[in-house]
Amino acid sequence: MKLKPTIALSAAGLLFNPATGDSFSANPVALEILGLLREDAAPEAAKTAVLARYEVEAHQLDKDWDDLVAQLRQHDLLDS
């Protein structure tokens, strides 16, 4: 799973899809996940990195991860 290469991602957490003109904002944790996805990190490796950096339970991260991925897919921000 990887962000489309055309998606702009700022250090402040702003995403821009030039194909649609849509823009989105991401909180710091989502921004870190998006950065890992931009680097084409495997989902399990990205989750491990987040678990190591933040105080979050694995089951909560899984739920939040699924929600984020669903939103990214809904807005066509991921490569297939």
**pLDDT tens digit string along 2-27?**
899 999 999 999 999 999 999 999 99
Tokens of 66: 């699924």
Burial environment of residue 48 by CB neighbours within 10 A (0 to 12, 13 to 18, 19 or more): middle
pLDDT class of 50 with cuts at 50, 70, 90: very high
Q: Which amino acid is at 10?
A: S
**Euclidean distance between CA atoms 80 and 73, whole angstroms:** 9
Query: What domains, with CATH codes, occur in the chain?
Result: 2-79 (1.10.10)
Axis crossing angle, helix 58-74 with helix 28-38, rounded to the nearest 10: 70
pLDDT tens digits for range 51-66:
999 999 999 999 999 9
